Amino acid sequence: MQTATILFLGFVLLQRLAELVIARINTRRLLTKGAYEIGAVHYPLMVGMHALWLIFLIGWGYDQPVHYGWLALFGILQLLRVWILGTLGPRWTTRIIILPEPLVRRGPFRFLRHPNYTLVVAEIIVAPMVLGLVWVAALFTVLNALMLYVRIRAENRALAPLR
């Protein structure tokens, strides 16, 4: 095992676990403010797909060398992640939580309707490529596209009255 590989995989795993904690806290707070959830039926499938993606990254990537060009791109994506989470603040969550307030229209939301989904699409591709796992990037890009087809349609329907 290479140190860079272990550090990269550890970062991705810890980041995803921390995001689940943040999302749970934010979800609870939003629900107490009168928000409601939609798409709860497909949420476990999404979490399962992302967990499987991590398992594949770790299982097939633990002994692979790091490709530093892809790692640099992954680093840039993390700056976008910070921008998105910072813009949404306590409104960021992994669930589709609808708060009957005006939508956030600053930060990356000025340019994209769903910047977080755009980021996740890129990460699903780039993180495996850091370890040279082209087939993992391809497989989970397809699975993620199917998940986002369902998820974005549900979210857009729910947000339509707020636009």
- pLDDT band with cut points at 50, 70 and 90 for residue 6: very high
Q: What is the CATH number of the domain that holds 93?
A: 1.20.120.1630
pLDDT digits (tens, 9 = 90+) for 26-83: 999 999 999 999 999 999 999 999 999 999 999 999 999 999 999 999 999 999 999 9
Question: Which tokens belong to 99?
Answer: 């708060």
Domain encompassing residue 21: 3-162
d(CA 2, CA 67): 12
Q: What is the pLDDT of residue 98?
A: 92
**Helices and strands in the chain, H and E counts:** 5, 2
Asked if pLDDT for residue 2 goes beyond 80, the answer is yes
Provide the whole-model pTM: 0.92
Q: Is it the case that residue 113 has pLDDT exceeding 90?
A: no
For the cut 90, the answer to whether the pLDDT of residue 160 exceeds it is: no
Cα gap 157→28, rounded to integer Å = 22
Instruction: Give whole-number Cα distances, 5 to 12, 86, 152, in Å.
Output: 11, 28, 33
Who contacts 10 (Cβ-Cβ below 8 Å, separation ≥6)?
Answer: none
Confidence (pLDDT) at 163: 66
* Number of domains the chain contains: 1
- What are the backbone dihedrals phi and psi of residue 98, each rounded to the nearest 5 degrees, phi first? -100, 120
Q: What is the mean pLDDT of residues 120-131?
A: 98
- In Å, how far are 30, 33, 72, 95, 126 from 153, measured between CA atoms? 21, 24, 32, 14, 25
What pLDDT does residue 1 have? 61
Asked if the model's pLDDT at residue 122 lies above 70, the reply is yes
What was the pLDDT predicted at 104? 85
Q: Lowest mean pLDDT: which of 5-14, 74-83, 100-109, 136-145?
A: 100-109
